[in-house]
Chain A
Amino acid sequence: MANSSLTVANIDAGYGAVRVLEDVSLSVGAGETVALLGTNGNGKSTLMKSIMGIVCPSSGSISAVIDGTTHELVGRSTEEIVDLGIAFVPEGRRLFPKQTVIENLLLGAFRPAARSAIRRNLDFCLETFPRLKERSRQVAGSLSGGEQQMLALARALMSAPRILLIDEPSVGLAPLLVSRTIDKIKELKEGFNLTVLMAEQNFTQAIRIADRGYVIVHGRIAFAGESAEALNNNDLIREFYLGA
């Protein structure tokens, strides 16, 4: 079963002299889907980059339990963190634009632990996203924005992760596509037995599949909602998202 979880404890992080995150703590329990909510520039991506070893926190600790084994993540390289079984769909998707859809997916399975299940995962991804199957020989750079987002998700799953981090899956998608993408994330989460942390600005969509969520404002966790309902009734959310 999904026995993989993530704990961020009191981290400070930023870029050079610019301090972005202050004393941020959060946790994602085994098998949970947790939403990280916040409007532009509040530090969602910085937090995700800190977890992935792209930004190095100046203090605090980040640890992940993968299949029952605990690993400290601070100080590890990005590739080591991914190799542990933590996949990340970054802002801007970061596909290999000159490689085909299939080549991008196969690169997703570079991680040695993912190679044995490559056939099964590939079939699963292409079944979940029939659009990618149709376009399997097309180069990723020529896909539409929605298709690129699907490919970025599918590629992350090809690494057979236990924990999946997704930075704003809805960005740049038409409203109908947003809800479909969010549904897909739920489907994939169940299919792969994942623990999910998802950054989103689209509160209403995120909350449909999230078990709970955090609201981040100016680099601090302003509110931790223990349920979707708690988030719905929170003043901050009302102020930022619902215009109340």
Chain B
Amino acid sequence: MDVSLDLLVNAIVSGLLLGGFYAAVSIGVAISFGMLDIVNIAHPAFILLGSYVAYFANSVLGMDPILAAAIALPAFYLLGMAVYQVYYVAFERRNDQSLRSLAFFFGLLFITEVGLVLAFGVDYRLVEARYIGPSLHFGIIDLPLRLLVPFLVAAAMVVGLQVFLSRSFLGRAIQAVAQDQLALRLMAADPIRIKRIAFGLSFATAAVAGAILIIVQPVEPSIGREYIGRVFAICVLGGLGSFTGMAIAAIILGIVESLTSTFFGPSWAPAVAFGVLLVTLAVRPSGLMGR
């Protein structure tokens, strides 16, 4: 069997799985930044919070990390609504969204990180579950379950949210709210309530993404920063406001990174990934599926 073909196929497969994981990490930002125009750069820190919730439930209670995420989901949703309310009262209502709100989310990012350091220390933490370790084998293809399970959970979350956003009244209002708030009022919907719900949902995805993250790799509190650039890149590459575009972009980025690190070494991966972003934006300024 040809070794390089073997490598190539497996690099693509693990890139695909990695892409699913990136989609889960990015979907919260696809909602807050892509649909609400709120630059929540603290999102990766809340994903880390989700990781540590899963870690805590797993190490102390022996709970499955994904089950832990499902249980933490409502709390994250409420936390997101509360954060939006503060953001709304402090910035949005005063039409003061730009620089000072960026400082607000930077502040949240650092507070969350410091909180995690104080609570859990700076060592890498990981979780235990039956699906961490074994792999499925199909011919030359290796499917590590620690990537496959997160991929499936991520896919379910992206598809579920996409269906909700395109089929429900609330979902359609979320997609429209950043375009014209008065128009939304004239549809009998309160834009602030719609945004609060959407931001809550965006936070709820962080609980799931966090659990997935700590299954995929061990985490320490500042690791979220590595994802900030990647996550915004994925949303912009996909086209703001489009989940489908975001998911495709996440998978492209996953495959590109995986191929690069297999054939050229891991340190090249981010550079090549951002190269792809820049080239795509040069050709299609509104992203792959931007409207």
Tell whether, in the assembled complex, residue B190 and residue A77 are in contact, meaning their CB atoms are under 8 Å apart. yes
List of 7 A-B pairs having minimum Cβ-Cβ separation, nearest first: A111-B188, A94-B183, A82-B188, A78-B185, A83-B188, A96-B176, A110-B187
27 A-B contact pairs sorted by A residue (CB < 8 Å): A52-B186, A77-B185, A77-B190, A79-B185, A79-B190, A82-B188, A83-B188, A87-B186, A88-B186, A95-B180, A96-B179, A96-B183, A97-B179, A98-B179, A99-B172, A99-B175, A99-B176, A106-B169, A107-B173, A107-B184, A109-B169, A110-B189, A111-B188, A139-B291, A156-B186, A159-B187, A159-B188
B241 within 8 A of A: yes
A219 within 8 A of B: no
A103 within 8 A of B: yes
B152 within 8 A of A: no
| In the complex, chain B residues whose CB is within 8 Å of the CB of A97 | 179-180
User: A82-B185, A90-B182, A97-B180 given. 13 additional CB < 8 A pairs?
Assistant: A54-B182, A54-B185, A78-B186, A95-B180, A99-B172, A99-B176, A107-B184, A110-B169, A110-B173, A110-B188, A115-B169, A156-B186, A159-B187
| In the complex, chain B residues whose CB is within 8 Å of the CB of A79 | 185, 188-190
> In the bound complex, how far is the Cα of B169 from the Cα of A94, in angstroms?
19
Which residue on chain B has the smallest CB distance to residue A95? B183
Interface residue tally of chain B, by bracket? 10 to 19
> In the bound complex, how far is the Cα of B167 from the Cα of A107, in angstroms?
11
Which residue on chain A has the smallest CB distance to residue B176? A96
| In the complex, chain A residues whose CB is within 8 Å of the CB of B180 | 94-97
Instruction: Tell me the A161-191 residues at the B interface (CB within 8 Å).
Output: none
A108 within 8 A of B: yes
| In the complex, chain A residues whose CB is within 8 Å of the CB of B182 | 54, 78, 90, 94
> In the bound complex, how far is the Cα of B176 from the Cα of A25, in angstroms?
35
| In the complex, chain B residues whose CB is within 8 Å of the CB of A159 | 187-188
| In the complex, chain B residues whose CB is within 8 Å of the CB of A139 | 291
B34 to chain A, nearest CB (A): 11
Which residue on chain B has the smallest CB distance to residue A111? B188
Tell whether, in the assembled complex, residue B241 and residue A98 are in contact, meaning their CB atoms are under 8 Å apart. yes
Instruction: Tell me the A104-151 residues at the B interface (CB within 8 Å).
Output: 106-111, 115, 139
> In the bound complex, how far is the Cα of B183 from the Cα of A155, in angstroms?
11
B184 to chain A, nearest CB (A): 8
| In the complex, chain B residues whose CB is within 8 Å of the CB of A78 | 182, 185-186
Which residue on chain A has the smallest CB distance to residue B175? A99
> In the bound complex, how far is the Cα of B176 from the Cα of A9, in angstroms?
35
Known: A77-B185, A78-B185, A94-B183. A107 touches B190 (CB 8 A): no
**Which of A88, A95, A98, A103 has a CB less than 8 Å from the CB of B172?**
A103
| In the complex, chain B residues whose CB is within 8 Å of the CB of A82 | 185-188
A46 to chain B, nearest CB (A): 15
**Residue among B173, B179, B182, B183 with the highest chain A CB neighbour number at 10 A:** B183
> In the bound complex, how far is the Cα of B172 from the Cα of A95, in angstroms?
14
| In the complex, chain A residues whose CB is within 8 Å of the CB of B184 | 107
**Which of B175, B186, B189 has a CB less than 8 Å from the CB of A90?**
B186
> In the bound complex, how far is the Cα of B175 from the Cα of A106, in angstroms?
12
| In the complex, chain B residues whose CB is within 8 Å of the CB of A156 | 186
Known: A98-B291, A115-B169, A139-B291. A107 touches B176 (CB 8 A): yes
**Which of A52, A77, A99, A110 has a CB less than 8 Å from the CB of B179?**
A99
Tell whether, in the assembled complex, residue A107 and residue B179 are in contact, meaning their CB atoms are under 8 Å apart. no
> In the bound complex, how far is the Cα of B241 from the Cα of A78, in angstroms?
26
